[in-house]
Amino acid sequence: MIYDASVAGFGVTLRCADEADAAFMYALRTAPHVIGRIGDPPPSVEAQAAWIRKVKASADDSCFIIEQDGLGPVGTISLTRMNETAAEPGRWVLRPGSTAAAASCLLVYGVAFERLGFEKIRMSVSTRNLRVLSFHRRYGARETNIDRQSRVFNGVVQDMLWFEVARAEWPRVKAFLERQAELAQRVARRSAELRNAG
């Protein structure tokens, strides 16, 4: 596995997925808000567990469970080595209503740049995945190219838009994501307070 330690910040933790997470991951990947926006899910929980075993045995892949304080697992995110200098974050899925987007992105980028020393990160997003496209544009990821009709999700051929962040851009991106993660943490704490008060 490319990275097998946990990282945490702003009320969010990324920890390596294990076979015990297969049912959670399968349920997340087959949720209505996910189907057709990322790669098709495995056919069963058992197939998901086999996929996790494969990733854990790989030298250039990883998959994290995103946990949020007080809520437990809320999503997944991965980091895959594309070559010696560039890595690809992906398989990013969150439960509806989760406030862990900025923090999970911040943490996985930190692993890529600060712990593994990659020079850049590149990620592809379906042009139909409007929320994720908007997220990457807000923090200033550069659009580098588009692969026309290059992937099939849920039987639909889709265009994939590529984004890139170079190491020199990381301090600016990091500062933006930290501000967003701090705001999201405040929202999460306030929501927890309201739940506990009820």
Is residue 127 a part of any domain in this protein? Answer: yes
Q: Report how many domains make up the chain.
A: 1
Is residue 145 a part of any domain in this protein? Answer: yes
CATH number at residue 173: 3.40.630.30
Is residue 111 a part of any domain in this protein? Answer: yes
Asked if 76 and 68 touch (Cβ cutoff 8 Å), the reply is no
Task: State the average pLDDT over residues 175-195.
Answer: 93
Is residue 193 a part of any domain in this protein? Answer: no
Is residue 15 a part of any domain in this protein? Answer: yes
- pLDDT of 198 above 70: no
Q: What is the pLDDT of residue 193?
A: 85
Tell me how far apart the alpha carbons of residues 73 and 197 are, in angstroms, rounded to a whole number: 23
Asked if 89 and 104 touch (Cβ cutoff 8 Å), the reply is no
Is residue 95 a part of any domain in this protein? Answer: yes
| Nearest residue to 104 via CA among 115, 116, 91 | 91
Assigned token pair, 195: 């739940």
The SS3 of residue 114 is helix
H or E element, residue 183: helix 170-197
pTM, 2 dp = 0.94
Q: What is the pLDDT of residue 63?
A: 97
pLDDT tens by residue, 53-97: 999 999 999 999 999 999 999 999 999 998 999 999 999 999 999
